[in-house]
């Protein structure tokens, strides 16, 4: 029996293995390796794989499993803390980028308003797959910039609904404004209904389901249940007009506060990693250098322009929300690339012939280039931020109290870590892993600078000062950890703690 496809599969696996080892040795993002393999074996490279559509549909489930595991890291309380990032930052980013695209298209490029608006919306989207995977690998998803980026991505998952409706309606010759408005209202109602169904099922069914299955002690049933829940939630979401990824995220969040969270993550990881790698390979298969030859100047201009605009827009919006410029700039770098929904909207717009000749290929080329550069921007966002903003202004004692009071205004049941040296950093890493909120105080400017650039809740402050402890929310904290090796200073801190909050649980950590 002859199976030609098996030959190609073996070659692709060998290439992925080889490229993965090389990229890991060179400390380059693995995503770039997947994209390179896809470009090499795809229809525009060696031509070993002719039809990309079937593989791409299967690979899309990699994004579904990825967002499910991200949901496992979130509780409702944590999601509530993202409401500003989701609604204000996310909404403003999509709106502003779309309007900027509209203005450039209409006034500079002289293309129809609807084509300009759609182009702006396409370029406003960012890649959930690249961003979340890369931030997770860098242990940066729970940082300030990581949380803000995730909030924006979640809003984009919802914002694509009206854009898909607009593109589909513009493709219908007899589409009228009343019909478009009616379709939009119906879609919004269906989206709300889908969210209600997923949340209700998650609250009343999922915990009981996994408790029953766990009682059987059959690991295969547990694995099947994880796959069923992930795919079913994505299916419900998609049927009601939302994205696969958003439904999977909500299902993961339903299970985040259960005792099964860690085992569920272990079961889903192999499927997630395999299909996510396939997803990036299929994206690489879209690369067609020969077809883009005549559009290269416009592709480069579009690529550089839209990424620069997105960085600036996200940074300015973040600054307006009170986020430090270092974190604001890093958030912009993380979200600078195009996204999967951008590809989907572009495909639909090209099908309905809404773009003038050449514009579709220009947008496709710019999106793919942004996919190629995104892993590097995300991986080295900290180094780029340090290069652009090499110094952090020193805080006075009064400024430190104001800053700490602002950061802990809504904090409750958090842990205060006194000292952010090696021991303190290890402690905060464990707290992040267990999703326990914390605030660290330190007097070392280098520690403060590094932590600030990383988006960590670490600030300048002398823990032996009662005013700073009060500002840090010592009255509402669940615990205090002293991680520095100074017995006198530690005794002074404990004395102030006993005076302010004698019921607080205090610990002293040592190497």
Check which CATH number belongs to the domain holding 123 and give it.
1.20.1530.20
Residues 96 and 234 both lie in one domain: yes
pLDDT at position 511 is: 47
Residue 356: strand, helix, or coil: coil
Q: Please compute, for residue 328, the number of CA atoms within 13 A of its CA located in the half-sphere on the CB side.
A: 17
Residue 119, domain extent: 4-388
Q: Which of 439, 450, 454 is nearest to 330 (CA)?
A: 454
Over residues 410-428, the pLDDT tens digits come to 567 789 999 888 788 888 8
What is the mean pLDDT of the segment spanning 111-139?
87
Where a domain ends, among 324, 359, 388? 388
Under the banding of pLDDT at 50, 70 and 90, the label for residue 116 is very high
pTM of the model: 0.70
Mean per-residue pLDDT of the chain: 80
Phi and psi (nearest 5°) for 287? -65, 125
Residue 341 near residue 154 (C-beta atoms within 8 A): no
Tell which wins on pLDDT, 403 or 206.
206
Residues 381 and 467 both lie in one domain: no
Residues 48 and 173 both lie in one domain: yes
Check which CATH number belongs to the domain holding 454 and give it.
3.40.50.720
Residues 384 and 401 both lie in one domain: no
Which residues does 116 contact at the CB level (< 8 Å), separation at least 6? 101, 102, 103, 104, 105, 106, 109
Where a domain ends, among 366, 388, 410? 388
DSSP 329-341: HHHHHHT-S--HH
Residue 506: strand, helix, or coil: strand
- Among 36-40, 180-184, 483-487, name the most confident range: 36-40
Is the pLDDT at 113 greater than 50, yes or no?
yes
What is the mean pLDDT of the segment spanning 168-193?
68
Residues 381 and 409 both lie in one domain: no
What is the mean pLDDT of the segment spanning 22-46?
82
Over residues 287-302, the pLDDT tens digits come to 777 777 888 899 999 9
Under the banding of pLDDT at 50, 70 and 90, the label for residue 58 is low
Residues 296 and 272 both lie in one domain: yes
Is the pLDDT at 257 greater than 50, yes or no?
yes
Tokens of 347: 């495909």
Where a domain ends, among 362, 388, 414? 388
> How open is the CA angle 166-171-172, to the nearest 5 degrees?
100
Query: Kind and range of the H or E element at 262?
Result: helix 261-284
What is the mean pLDDT of the segment spanning 327-348?
87
The Cα–Cα gap between 259 and 97 comes to 41
User: Among 266-270, 453-457, 500-504, which stretch is predicted with the lowest mean pLDDT?
Assistant: 453-457
User: Among 20-24, 149-153, 409-413, 467-471, which stretch is predicted with the lowest mean pLDDT?
Assistant: 409-413
Residues 439 and 380 both lie in one domain: no
Residues 355 and 450 both lie in one domain: no
The Cα–Cα gap between 241 and 438 comes to 38
Q: What percent of the chain has pLDDT over 90?
A: 15
pLDDT at position 408 is: 56
Under the banding of pLDDT at 50, 70 and 90, the label for residue 405 is low
Tell which wins on pLDDT, 378 or 229.
378
pLDDT at position 1 is: 46
Under the banding of pLDDT at 50, 70 and 90, the label for residue 391 is low
Residues 451 and 306 both lie in one domain: no
The Cα–Cα gap between 244 and 440 comes to 38
Residues 197 and 334 both lie in one domain: yes
Under the banding of pLDDT at 50, 70 and 90, the label for residue 152 is very high
Crossing angle of helices 144-170 and 128-137, in 10° steps, is 170
Residue 493 near residue 463 (C-beta atoms within 8 A): yes
Q: Domains in the chain: how many in total?
A: 2
DSSP 138: T
The Cα–Cα gap between 177 and 185 comes to 12
Residues 180 and 267 both lie in one domain: yes
The Cα–Cα gap between 77 and 49 comes to 46
Is the pLDDT at 345 greater than 50, yes or no?
yes
What is the mean pLDDT of the segment spanning 56-65?
71
Over residues 198-232, the pLDDT tens digits come to 777 777 787 788 888 888 888 888 888 888 888 88
The Cα–Cα gap between 146 and 389 comes to 19
User: Among 131-145, 354-368, 441-455, which stretch is predicted with the lowest mean pLDDT?
Assistant: 441-455
For residue 478, what are the CA distances in angstroms to 392, 432, 457? 30, 15, 16
The Cα–Cα gap between 109 and 336 comes to 22
Residues 373 and 469 both lie in one domain: no
Q: Please compute, for residue 358, the number of CA atoms within 13 A of its CA located in the half-sphere on the CB side.
A: 10
What is the mean pLDDT of the segment spanning 348-357?
80
The Cα–Cα gap between 154 and 445 comes to 35
Residue 126: strand, helix, or coil: coil
């Amino acid at each position: 029996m002859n199976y030609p496809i098996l030959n190609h599969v073996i070659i692709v696996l060998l290439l992925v293995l080889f490229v993965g080892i090389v990229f890991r040795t060179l400390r380059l993002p693995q995503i770039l390796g997947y994209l390179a393999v896809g470009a090499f074996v795809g229809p525009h490279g060696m031509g070993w794989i002719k039809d990309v559509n079937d593989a791409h549909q299967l690979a899309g489930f990699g994004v579904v499993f990825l967002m499910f595991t991200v949901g496992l890291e979130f509780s409702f309380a944590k999601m509530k803390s993202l409401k500003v990032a989701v609604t204000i930052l996310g909404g403003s980013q999509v709106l502003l980028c779309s309007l900027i695209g509209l203005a450039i298209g209409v006034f500079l490029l002289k293309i129809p308003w609807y084509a300009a608006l759609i182009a702006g919306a396409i370029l406003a989207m960012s890649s959930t797959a690249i961003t979340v995977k890369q931030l997770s690998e860098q242990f940066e998803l729970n940082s300030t910039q990581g949380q803000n980026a995730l909030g924006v991505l979640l809003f984009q998952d919802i914002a694509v609904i009206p854009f898909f409706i607009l593109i589909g309606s513009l493709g219908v010759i007899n589409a009228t404004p009343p019909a478009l408005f009616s379709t939009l209202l119906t879609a919004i109602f269906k989206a709300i209904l889908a969210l209600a169904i997923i949340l209700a099922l998650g609250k009343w069914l999922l915990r009981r389901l996994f408790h029953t299955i766990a009682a059987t002690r059959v690991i295969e049933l547990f694995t099947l249940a994880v796959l069923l829940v992930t795919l079913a939630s994505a299916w419900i979401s998609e049927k009601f007009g939302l994205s696969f990824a958003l439904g999977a995220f909500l299902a993961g969040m339903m299970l985040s506060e259960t005792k099964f969270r860690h085992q569920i993550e272990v079961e889903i990881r192999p499927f997630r990693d395999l299909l996510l790698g396939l997803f990036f390979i299929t994206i690489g298969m879209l690369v067609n250098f020969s077809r883009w030859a005549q559009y290269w100047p416009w592709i480069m201009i579009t690529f550089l322009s839209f990424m620069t605009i997105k960085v600036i827009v996200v940074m300015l919006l973040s600054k307006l929300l009170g986020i430090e410029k270092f974190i604001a700039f890093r958030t912009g770098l993380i979200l600078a690339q195009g996204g999967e929904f951008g590809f989907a909207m572009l495909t639909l717009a090209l099908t309905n012939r809404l773009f003038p000749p050449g514009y579709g290929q220009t947008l496709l080329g710019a999106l793919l280039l942004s996919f190629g550069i995104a892993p590097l921007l995300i991986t080295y966002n900290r180094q780029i931020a340090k290069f652009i903003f090499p110094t952090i202004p020193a805080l006075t004692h009064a400024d430190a109290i104001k800053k700490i009071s602002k950061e802990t205004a809504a904090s409750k049941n958090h842990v205060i870590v006194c000292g952010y040296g090696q021991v303190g950093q290890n402690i905060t890493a464990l707290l992040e892993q267990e999703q326990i909120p914390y605030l660290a105080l330190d007097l070392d400017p280098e520690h403060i600078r590094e932590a600030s650039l990383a988006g960590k809740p670490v600030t300048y402050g002398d823990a032996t000062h009662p005013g700073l402890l009060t500002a840090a929310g010592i009255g509402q904290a669940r615990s205090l950890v002293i991680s520095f090796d100074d017995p006198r200073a530690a005794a002074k801190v404990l004395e102030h703690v006993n005076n302010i909050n004698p019921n607080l649980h205090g610990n002293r950590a040592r190497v």
